[in-house]
Amino acid sequence: MKTICFYFQIHQPFRLKRYRFFDIGSDHYYYDDFANEDIIHGVAERTYFPANNLLLEMIKEYNGKFKVAFSISGVVLEQMEVYVPEAIEQFKELSKTGCVEFLAETYDHSLASLTDPEEFQRQVKAHSDKIKDLFGKKPTVFRNTELIYSDDIASQVAAMGFKTMLTEGAKHVLGWKSPNYLYSAASAPNLKLLTRNMKFSDDISYRFSNYNWSEYPLVADKLVNWIAATPESEQLINIFMNYDVLGSLQQAETGIFDFFRAIPRFALAKGITFSTPTEVTKTFKSVGELSVPYPCSWAGEEKDISPWVGNILQKEAVEKLYSIAEKVQMVTEKRILQDWTYLQASDHFNYMSTKLFPGPSVYSPYENGYDAFNNYMNVLSDFINRVNGQFPEGVELEELNALTTLIRNQEKEIKILKKQLKSSDSVSKKDKVVQEKNKITSKKKKVTE
């Protein structure tokens, strides 16, 4: 029996304001609050609110037979909490149905998996904790930023305890293989892989409203018929998309909501079910291993990481950012740690692309990649100065590490001693109570005698 696994990515970065060279050292606030609030409100009105209501209706209409999965970055969750808390409440309602699974990812929607294993692990833990706090369940399935995946990343993800991971069904990865099976990672055989079906996913994401597409218009029964026509042995259809497809990338006027609403009716009529990633892993067995020595993603035609580190500008920005990672990990100032989170969002480096956006782009707030690079590097220069200002001048990083380790060990010892002191105090108090009781008892005996 065939099953469809729907997955949606939800992310919005904290966009930077115009930050000029002369602002370095005098202005430590980097964000365009007006743009961030305006954008999150717009996306919520076009996508989050109507799409969440639609999914809730569909789950109820089909008695829990319709299921989907989400990964929501930590930075967009923060924006929702501030600007559109109603969206958070809607996602909580969806979570209560038991038909929606929330996946783990990097809290910052960052490139840490490519640069810094410790930072990568820290962000994944922070995100998992956030999801558990909001929706009551710790994620067991992992989806990396923009589906970035490699053998090395798979090993890191498996070491964190995840059993399942999502990735792109890129042709240079699969070769002759089909994305419509469950696979396992070559570097971590216990880690199961769900590979995105590019054709069906992109038909909805990019070609749905394209009048020049030979298959236009795309209607629900046509999509379901295509899925039903896949070889009988191909039982798993992974359709992974940005949530913005519903209402933003494909506007409501195109009929995208009506199209999506009709999919379960035609699918269930043909015996095609819907599953979450966890259910897929429990239902299907791996048909083989996938080896991915070089990182792939779901972006661009090449399906590689060039949209973020494809030119000199991007590489320099990423290298300079993560060159201070060790120092930031020793900082305790909340404002610096918050900026560290927001500055790692992969979007900042994507805006620097000269391949994807040689000129103005609807996705980027900048005129071109060079403009994005200059603005980001000005911000980063000020941020680095603030981080360095947390430490004495002339002290080497190794000395700082040693001192920090010593301080942390002392803090741990102090906590242990405090616990021991509390326990000893409680024991001594109990002893005093017992002694007083014994005195009273002996006095009573004397009186009776």
| Active-site residue (options: 105, 119, 146, 168) | 146
Biggest distance spanned by C-alpha atoms of the chain: 109
45 catalytic per annotation: no
Q: What is the dihedral of CA 134, 140, 146, 151, to 10 degrees?
A: 150
Sign of CA dihedral 238, 243, 249, 254: positive
Q: What is the dihedral of CA 180, 120, 145, 12, to 10 degrees?
A: 150
d(CA 193, CA 181): 9
Beta bridge partners of 239: 6
Task: Characterize the bridge pairing of strands 182-185 and 192-196.
Answer: antiparallel
Q: What is the CA radius of gyration of the chain?
A: 27
Residues 36 and 15: beta-carbon distance below 8 Å: yes
Give which of 298, 286, 285, 281 is closest to 172, Cα–Cα.
298
List strands edge to edge, sheet with 192-196. 141-143, 164-168, 192-196, 182-185, 289-290
The catalytic residues are 146
